Amino acid sequence: MNSSTLLVIIRTPRLTACPARSISIDPMVRPFFSRRIGLDQPVIAGARLSGNAGDNWRIGLMDMQTALTDDHTADNFAVAVLQRKVLSRSNVGAFFTNKQVVTSPGDSAISYDFNRIAGGEFNFASTDNNWTGKAFYHYSFNPGEEGDRGALAAMISYDTEQFKAAWNQSYVGANYLAEMGYVRRSAYHQSNPSIGYRFYTMSERVAYHGPELDVDMLWDPDFTLTDRATELTYTLMWRDRSSISLELENNYVMLLEDWDPTHTGGEEIPAGSEFHWNEISLTYLSTMKRLFTFTLEGRYGGFYGGTKASFEAEMNYRVQPYGSLSLVGSYNHIEMPEPYNSADLWLVGPKLDITFTEKLFFTTYVQYNNQIDNINMNMRFQWRFAPVSDLFIVYTENAYPSGWTTKNRGIVLKLSYWFN
């Protein structure tokens, strides 16, 4: 399948980022997630306008249209965000998203011909920035079962140079639907407290060290515990900003659906199964002051009745001022008891960034994933023709590793202009 896309972006003075970025307070509850657009069908065209309207107001508008395919509908995606500054460093905002089915294949059955979400949020920051807080409420509109369509969350944190503590609390209704966004699941309560402390030293090499405790718990609507992750981390930070962290993690999971833990098409663990396990991990981040930088992480522990050993590495070498070459890789060895599948999972991807001039840039990366038997290639050319204004040409392709047989490919033209 071949596809092409045209996206035009208009930016007003004091440019903002994605018009709906401000509505992504909770990473588990995102009413809008741009990468969802075009996953199943090609994007025809789109436009975005974002920026400040005066000293206290900020706006964001976006509209994108996808094409009809044999298996998927042609949809229109629209987002509108309005935000106003309040107090000294806080803001309130409102947003609206709309996914509308424009055309559907003749023999296809679709669940809903539209899905809309409206919501409001409040972002708080104290004058000294020690106290920060966030709160939102969303409500979804679509044909289907009525009732319990809301999602709400609140967070408060206190953070100083030595001490930090935070509490996140959220609820997602059983009928909350966000087809333009990302919601891990519905019908749950979540609590996530955390606390940490730093001991600063007079050492010439060590800047600080200290522990952090994080607990993440999920309950069903009847307050039956379904998930709990308790992480205790101790971090040592050197003065060159390199660091090493040791983490101990205790997990509990009750499966709500049948599930294949390796995603390799094997036997599924039945819903209702309960698991407890422990994990240990060690992570090292090198200093960013050198041309060659790297991150290493090793992890070992239980995994849904089996065991998992994993290793991740990221290496980067800067060739100043011309660009950088990086390599990211991860390996997971999962051992499961019979009759479930064990697996060795690889994810490897080199990336190359080249700076031709102050206005011309090129980025390319290739990623191999044996879990889905896929090689993804992405190439992006960027021309900065005016201040904060860019022309992007992006080519992407997915292929089978054997013989490099193409699954799909696409080219995107994106124009961004800043009115100043």
In a shared domain, residues 302 and 179: no
pLDDT value at residue 23: 45
In a shared domain, residues 158 and 46: yes
Global pTM value: 0.84
pLDDT value at residue 174: 93
Per-residue model confidence as pLDDT tens digits over 258-285:
999 999 989 999 999 999 999 999 999 9
228, part of any domain:
yes
Query: Which positions ≥6 away from 154 have C-beta within 8 Å?
Result: 133, 134, 135, 168, 169, 170
- Residue carrying structure tokens 């045209």: 6
Q: From the first residue on, what is the mean pLDDT of each consecutive set of 10 residues in the chain (420 residues)?
A: 53 41 59 82 87 91 89 91 94 95 72 90 94 96 88 95 96 93 90 97 95 97 95 97 98 95 93 97 96 97 97 96 95 96 96 95 96 94 94 94 88 86
Per-residue model confidence as pLDDT tens digits over 185-203:
899 999 999 999 999 999 9
pLDDT value at residue 21: 40
Residue 57, domain extent: 1-164+171-185
In a shared domain, residues 210 and 320: yes
Q: Which residues pair with 47 in a beta bridge?
A: 8, 63
Domain count, the chain: 2
In a shared domain, residues 181 and 55: yes
pLDDT value at residue 107: 56
Q: Which residues pair with 398 in a beta bridge?
A: 376, 408
Taking the C-alpha atoms of residue 334 and residue 379, their distance in angstroms, rounded to an integer, is 33
In a shared domain, residues 179 and 202: no
In a shared domain, residues 223 and 337: yes
| Ramachandran angles phi, psi of 15, nearest 5° | -50, 145
